[in-house]
Amino acid sequence: MRAVVVTRPGDASVLEVAEVRLAGPGAGELQIDVVAAGVNRADVSQREGRYPSPPGVPEWPGLEVSGIVSAIGPAAERTADDRGSTGPGAAGTGAPGTGAPGFAVGDHVCALLGGGGYAERVVVPVGQVLPVPRGVDLVDAAGLVEVVATVWSNVFMLAGLAAGETLLVHGGSSGIGTMAIQLGHALGARVAVTARSAAKLEACRELGADILIDYTHDDFVERVNDEAGGADVILDVVGGDYLDRNVRALATNGRIANIASMGGAEARLDLGALMRKRGTIRSTSLRARPAAEKAEIIQSVRENVWPLLESGAVRPLIAARFPLAEASAAHRLMESSDHIGKILLLV
Ligand SMILES: NC(=O)c1ccc[n+]([C@@H]2O[C@H](COP(=O)([O-])OP(=O)(O)OC[C@H]3O[C@@H](n4cnc5c(N)ncnc54)[C@H](OP(=O)(O)O)[C@@H]3O)[C@@H](O)[C@H]2O)c1
C-alpha cells in the first residue's frame, strides 16, 4: 500500500509517497481503509526527527484517521447483541462484558493512532476506534479524534472544568484550540483565548469564546484577571515563560493543563505564587499513554462528547484539505500557523 514516509529528518520537502508493508489486524484490532488523515503539530516534530513513532507502531506519521472498516481481528467483531444500529456511521455500542466498542466490516469510523495514519490502510486497537458521529462528514471526521481526546482528557477528565468556571485556551485558533473553545462553551464554561491576529480571534468568537486576547499586544495575565478574576483551568501549549504567567493568571484552586512547549521546554516557576493560589499543574502526552488508558479516554469521549457532535453543538473545524501526495504542502501550512482549525490529507 502507499503511505507518506519521512525519507530523512528535515523540512517539509522530505515527505514522499512510497510503497510500504502493513500486517493485517491481530487480536482486538481493526483494519481501516483510510479516507482521510488528520495532520497534527506532532507530525512536524516527527518529520524533523524529534518525535519518533513508539515501538510497535508504523514509522510513517499520522495520529488520526477516518475511513471504512475493511477487516477485523479475533475478538474485535460486533456480537449479535451489539447490533443496536447498523450501516455507515452507525457502529455498535459496546461488546458486552468488555466495555469495548464492537464494529463490523463496512462501518464508517474514526480512530486514534500512535502513528501510521498518512497511509491507505491502518491497523488499530478496537478501543481507539469510534463510529463517525451522525451528521458529521466522513472526511471531516479525520480531524476529530486527536483533538477531542486531548481536550477531553486534559481539560475535563484531569482538570475537571465545570460549568460556570473560566477556561483560558492558548493558541485558540489551533486544531486543539478550536475544539477546546467549543467544548468549554457547550458545557457552560466562560472561555478566554489567546491568538496572534484579529482574524483568528474573530474565528474563536464565532466558536463561542467570550474573552479575546491578541497576545502580540495584550497581556493575557491582566486581561484574564480583570475580566474573569483569573482562570479556573488553563489549557497551555506554549510552556516556557508562559508557565509563570499562567500561574499569575490562575484563579484560586486553578488548574493548569500543559500539553506542549512550543515556547520552550524549560521554565521558571514561583512556587510561592502557585501555593497561594492552591494551584495544580499537570502535563500529559496522549501518544505516550498505554492502550488501556487511551481506550478509557475514547470511551469517555464517546459517552460525553459524541452526543454534542451529533446534536451539532460541537463540530470539526477544517481549515484545509490536501491530497495525500501533497503532504509537504499541508506541513508547510501548519508551520506557517496561518490555518484556523484542522488540516486534513485526503487518501
Ligand atoms: N500532549 C498531547 O497529548 C498533545 C496532543 C495534541 C496536540 N498537542 C500539542 O498541542 C499543540 C497544538 O496542536 P495542533 O495540532 O492543534 O497545532 P496547530 O493547529 O498547528 O496550532 C498551533 C498553534 O500554536 C500557536 N503558537 C505557536 N507557537 C506559539 C507561541 N510561541 N506562543 C503562542 N502561541 C503559539 C499558534 O497560534 P498563533 O498563530 O495565534 O500564534 C497556532 O495556532 C501542539 O504543540 C501539539 O504538539 C499535544
CATH number of the domain within which 247 lies = 3.40.50.720
Domain count, the chain: 2
Grid cell 509517497 in the structure block, residue: 17
Whether residue 269 sits in one domain with residue 160: yes
Of 243, 263, 283, the one marking the end of a domain is 283
CA of residue 147 to ligand 1 center, whole Å: 11
Rounded Cα distance, 208 and 205, in Å: 5
Which atom of ligand 1 is closest in space to residue 44's alpha carbon? 47
Rounded Cα distance, 78 and 100, in Å: 10
Structural domain span for residue 206: 150-283
Whether residue 257 sits in one domain with residue 319: no
CA of residue 257 to ligand 1 center, whole Å: 14
CATH for 76: 3.90.180.10
Whether residue 120 sits in one domain with residue 183: no
Whether residue 225 sits in one domain with residue 126: no
The pTM score is 0.93
Nearest CA to ligand 1 atom 31: 263
Whether residue 263 sits in one domain with residue 195: yes
Local confidence pLDDT in tens for the 347 residues of the chain? 999 999 999 999 999 999 999 999 999 999 999 999 999 999 999 999 999 999 999 999 999 999 999 999 987 665 544 543 334 444 443 433 333 358 999 999 999 999 999 999 999 999 999 999 999 999 999 999 999 999 999 999 999 999 999 999 999 999 999 999 999 999 999 999 999 999 999 999 999 999 999 999 999 999 999 999 999 999 999 999 999 999 999 999 999 999 999 999 999 999 999 999 999 999 999 998 999 999 999 999 999 999 999 999 999 999 999 999 999 999 999 999 999 999 999 99
Whether residue 322 sits in one domain with residue 252: no
CA of residue 237 to ligand 1 center, whole Å: 5
Of 253, 283, 313, the one marking the end of a domain is 283
Q: Which residues of 177-197 are buried (b: 16+ CB within 10 A; e: fewer)?
A: bbbbbbbbbbbebbbbbbbee
CA of residue 197 to ligand 1 center, whole Å: 15
88-96 long-range contacts, CB within 8 A, separation 24+? 88/132, 88/138, 89/131, 89/132, 89/133, 89/134, 89/136, 89/138, 90/131, 90/134, 91/130, 91/131
CA of residue 176 to ligand 1 center, whole Å: 7
- Residues in contact with ligand 1 by the CB-under-6-Å rule are 40-42, 146, 150, 170-171, 173-176, 195-196, 200, 237-238, 259-260, 262-263, 284-286, 334, 337
Angle at 327 between CA 263 and CA 137, to 5 degrees: 95
Whether residue 312 sits in one domain with residue 293: yes
Whether residue 185 sits in one domain with residue 75: no
